[in-house]
């Protein structure tokens, strides 16, 4: 795994006539090193499966702090020796769980590409439904997602993998909305749909990561918030 | 309440100031991993003994640095609360101006805010301190917009004002924390992003 080191200044930032270089993660860090040794036999594949499932449940219940290979071994009923034959460290198992979760999410967001689901909707309803679909990805496993997002704040490999997945999801969401570019009243439809993705993603990601009352003590239910974000995007894109 | 003993003398105040400045710079340049009182001492030209006489740990120094950053949030809040400042704005312009001021506050110390946000993700005490001040900020943001409640096109003004705050704050915060290409590779320049947020929230609250 790449080592998290000092932030790399990636771009210059201009606002109010002041130019400064700004420190950020390098999101291009490759995460190509395989996290796990591949399982060759059916029996090993089954035990690998149990490891990933037990690890996932443990993270959901205890967070990263309670995530140890000893506990995964106990829950999965796979000896610690067999685990170490497959994964180098608990970090490698964590990375594998993240990888698998992102792949699941990407598969779920395949819904954006299913033309039949969308073509009968009028444009405002299509925007609202697309926002709901995007939101649904956050609740597939909100506990796990929250643990991953907190790790992402201190682990660059996690951040880079999350960002790479999000780029794929953004592209699909935006392509779906741009099918109706003719009805988008915003002067720059490509920018406007990208803004919609960011506004929905960021607002919901903060709810998942910090809960519903971090930046505001007002209580807004998840579904209500998602509907409001849908309306916000409809108004912004379609000027209504 | 910053965990730092306040200095009584001018010379001590100056050295505390140097320690805070050096600590901030170290965090901005190297991040939390490299943040040690030994390195702060070296950069500030203040002995490690004098630093410990003033503060018990690097957590206390971090807390004082966070406190300085949160004071900007308090100033922003007070600016929102000063309703006279905003009277001459038309409602749509008001939304854009309020969001632009939020963005300018972030931008003014973006690097240290980014470091603090990353710490907050793994340290509940850090997150809790920020949360408390952000809620107070959100209260004033909403109250300011709700001075125009009769112009809202949204049937539930309180809810709409809260969603506008969450959207504007959340979108800007994530850009500060992860940069402009986390969610999508199509980086939007900061000032454009701020303008679009004002437009989106303005349309949502007040219509076209």
Alpha carbons A237 and A178: distance in angstroms, whole number: 10
Neighbouring C-beta atoms of residue A188, cutoff 10 Å: 12
At A1 the pLDDT is 31
Paired residues of A23 in beta bridges: A9
pLDDT for res B2: 59
Answer whether B165's CB lies under 8 Å from A196's CB.
Answer: no
CA distance, residue B141 to nearest chain A CA (Å): 10
Query: Given CB atoms, is A168 within the 8 Å cutoff of chain B?
Result: no
CATH of domain A97-238: 1.10.357.10
Could you name the CATH architecture of B66-206? Orthogonal Bundle (1.10)
pLDDT, residue A47, reads 86
Segment holding B153, helix H or strand E = none
Among the partner residues B28, B183, B208, nearest to A197 by beta-carbon distance: B183
Residues 70-99 of A with CB under 8 A from B: none
Nearest to A186 by CA among A124, A226, A235: A235
Q: For residue B164, which phi and psi values (nearest 5 degrees)? A: -60, -45
Q: Do B178 and A201 touch (CB under 8 A)?
A: no
CATH T-level topology, domain B10-56:
Arc Repressor Mutant, subunit A (1.10.10)
Across the interface, which of A24, A153, A167 has its CB nearest the CB of B122? A153
A23 and B199 in contact (C-beta within 8 Å)? Answer: no
- The domains of chain A are located at 97-238
B-chain residue closest to A150, CA distance: B121
Rg value, chain A, Cα: 20
Which chain A residues contact residue B169 at CB under 8 A?
215
CA distance B15 to B51: 9
Tokens of B123: 């340290």
A15: nearest CB among B107, B182, B185:
B107
- CATH 1.10.10.60 occupies which residues in chain B? 10-56
B191 burial level (CB within 10 Å; 0-12, 13-18, 19+): middle
Residue intervals in chain B for CATH 1.10.357.10 = 66-206
The reply to whether A214 touches chain B by the CB within 8 Å rule is: yes
Q: Within 10 Å of residue A30's Cβ, how many Cβ atoms?
A: 8
Whole-number Å distance between alpha carbons of A135 and A105: 11
CB-CB neighbors (< 8 A) of B201 in chain A: 232
Confirm or reject contact between A227 and chain B (CB < 8 A): no
Any idea what the Cα angle at residue B71 is, between residues B70 and B72, rounded to 5°?
Answer: 85
* pTM metric for this prediction: 0.89
State the 10-residue block means of pLDDT for chain B, 208 residues long: 72 90 95 94 96 93 96 98 97 98 94 94 94 96 98 96 98 93 93 97 96
Q: What is the mean pLDDT of each run of 10 residues along chain A (240 residues)?
A: 32 37 41 61 83 97 96 95 91 96 96 96 98 97 96 93 97 98 97 98 95 89 97 95
Instruction: Flag if A218 and B138 touch (Cβ within 8 Å).
Output: yes
**Does the structure's ipTM exceed the value 0.90?**
yes
Take residue A114 and report the two structure tokens written for it: 């299913």
Dihedrals φ, ψ of B6, to 5°?
-70, 135
């Amino acid at each position: 795994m790449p080592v998290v080191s000092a932030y790399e200044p990636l771009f210059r930032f201009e606002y109010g006539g002041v130019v400064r270089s700004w420190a950020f993660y390098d999101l291009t860090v490759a995460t190509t090193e395989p996290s796990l040794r591949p399982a060759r036999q059916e029996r090993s594949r089954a035990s690998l499966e149990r490891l990933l499932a037990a690890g996932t449940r443990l993270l959901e219940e205890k967070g990263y702090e309670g995530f140890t290979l000893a506990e995964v071994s106990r829950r999965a009923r796979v000896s610690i020796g067999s685990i170490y034959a497959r994964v180098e460290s608990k970090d490698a198992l964590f990375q594998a769980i993240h990888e698998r979760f992102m792949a699941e999410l990407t598969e779920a967001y395949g819904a954006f590409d299913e033309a039949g689901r969308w073509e009968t909707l009028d444009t405002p309803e299509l925007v609202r439904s697309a926002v709901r679909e995007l939101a649904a990805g956050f609740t597939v496993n909100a506990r796990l997602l929250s643990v991953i997002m907190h790790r992402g704040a201190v682990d660059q490999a996690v951040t880079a993998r999350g960002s790479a997945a999000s780029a794929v999801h953004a592209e699909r969401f935006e392509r779906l909305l741009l099918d109706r570019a003719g009805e988008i009243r915003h002067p720059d439809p490509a920018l406007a749909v990208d803004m919609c993705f960011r506004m929905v993603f960021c607002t919901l990601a903060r709810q998942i990561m910090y809960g519903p009352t971090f930046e505001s003590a007002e209580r807004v239910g998840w579904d209500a918030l998602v509907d409001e974000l849908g309306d916000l995007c409809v108004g912004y894109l379609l000027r209504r | 309440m910053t965990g730092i003993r306040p200095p009584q003398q001018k010379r001590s105040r100056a050295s505390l100031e140097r320690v805070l400045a050096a600590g901030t710079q170290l965090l901005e340049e190297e991040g939390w991993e490299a943040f040690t009182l030994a390195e702060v001492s070296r950069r500030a030209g203040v002995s490690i003994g004098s630093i410990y006489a003033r503060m018990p740990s690097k957590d206390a120094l971090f807390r004082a640095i966070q406190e300085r950053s949160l004071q900007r949030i308090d100033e922003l809040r007070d600016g929102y609360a000063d309703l006279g400042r905003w009277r001459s704005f038309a409602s749509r312009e008001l939304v854009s101006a309020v969001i632009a001021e939020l963005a300018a506050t972030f931008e003014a110390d973006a690097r240290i805010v980014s470091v603090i946000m990353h710490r907050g993700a793994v340290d509940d005490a850090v997150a809790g301190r920020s949360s408390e001040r952000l809620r107070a900020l959100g209260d004033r943001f909403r109250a300011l917009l709700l001075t125009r409640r009769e112009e809202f096109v949204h049937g539930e003004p309180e809810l709409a004002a809260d969603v506008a705050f969450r959207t504007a704050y959340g979108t800007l915060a994530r850009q500060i924390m992860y940069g402009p290409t986390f969610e999508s590779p199509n980086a939007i320049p900061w000032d454009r992003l701020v303008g679009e947020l004002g437009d989106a929230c303005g349309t949502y609250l007040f219509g076209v």
